[in-house]
Amino acid sequence: MFHTLYHYPRVVARHEEGPFAPERERFLTHCAETGSAPTTLLRLASELLLVAQRIDLGGVRSVPMTEVAVAADRWVRYQRRQHRIRGSRFSRERFMQAATAWLLFLGRLQPAYEKPWVYDGLINEFGRTMREERGLSQRTIQSRVWYVRAFLRWLDEEAIDLAALRLEQIDAFLALKSQQGWCRVSMAAMVGALRTFLRYAAEHGCCTARIAEGIEGPRLFRDEALPVGPPWSEVQRLIASTDANGPQDRRDRAILLLLAVYGLRSGEVVALTLEDVNWEQGLLHVRRPKQRREQDYPLTATVGGAILDYLQQARPRCALRSLFLAATAPFRPLSASRLHSLVHTRMAALNVRCPHPGPHALRHACATHLVAEGLSLKEIGDHLGHRSAYATRTYAKVDLVGLRQVADVELGDLL
């Protein structure tokens, strides 16, 4: 690997004669196989040589993070004395990142000790109960646990014991979140999570019984917020903006088509793998964690062509099986947050206006377009992966053109 990265014999010799050269070369080879760019490998090789020179790796001991931090600080101080750097932040971060990644790869990084949180066991059991006994999806469990953790952290900060919790204290917490700008929907979600958790805690003797029944949240009205996506003409304009031949444009075009044509959720798109595109049968296999089931779609020519173009012309060559990867090294599967960011950025650049710009807005646009095309709510629900027509019926209210036609009917003699 050193001979591949460097051309000057003296530079190659310096790296080969440095401490732990085989281990450093093995890690660099691993990074190259996972898609790291040559410039990244060059910088990493230099940092690894410094790490090997400044951290004692003799024997088979595990290196604690505190020792890595001390070595990084010493290296930064040395550079400042030599007037090589002005600020210490980036130099220290590069040293820490290289050392941490390498030691983890070697299995020689001693994990930092964290004092167990008093509520860790209760939260873990709460999540297990929701998964195994109530059968909730992983996304729902993560959301509820997040709200519960936020509440319990506040209890710790206020030195309030869960066993002595009172309704006034819960009201104070909710009032604080309202002052911090939480909307009514978020507040209602917090209240729902707290009720579920406090019922569970009361059953296990961790808090006062029936306290959950006294929690009051903001009132939400059924269908008060209709699902609104951009007009279909704006969706077409958004997709047309990816006509450039750059790697990121090819990838984003395939993603936008999946969101708009099939109405997929962001989590369903990032979960797609190379095996989910069945080219022989012309099918797209989608896993729906929210419904805990899977669904096959016919692969349309437009979507299939965009995916094939991305695979042949833009997808990085690496061992990862995820369909969509980051456009630059280090290559890794796209996350749902990164997918939201790229859709939001493209919509903002084209001034595509809708209440909540992002991947889910394209799902709403897909459903609204299908309503305008005359498909039944059952057909639309099947297309979107809804388990019942109840979740689909709200899109009937969005068909303003159809509603106006109904309003314009001349009743004539019937009056």
Catalytic sites, residue numbers: 265, 290, 360, 363, 386, 395
Whole-angstrom distance, CA of residue 295 vs CA of residue 262: 11
Report the half-sphere exposure of 338 (CA within 13 A, side-chain side): 14
Closest CA to 364 of 354, 349, 373, 374: 354
Other Cβ atoms less than 10 A from the Cβ of 102: the count is 26
CA 174 to the chain's CA centroid: 27
What tokens were used for 10?
């003296």
Residue whose tokens read 């008093």: 118
Residue whose tokens read 């090819």: 250
Whole-angstrom distance, CA of residue 87 vs CA of residue 102: 25
Torsion angle defined by CA atoms of residues 11, 16, 22 and 24, in that order, rounded to the nearest 10 degrees: -30
Q: Which helix (H) or strand (E) holds 77?
A: helix 65-81
At residue 400's C-alpha, the angle toward residues 398 and 405, to 5°, is 140
What tokens were used for 8?
């000057």
CA 351 to the chain's CA centroid: 24
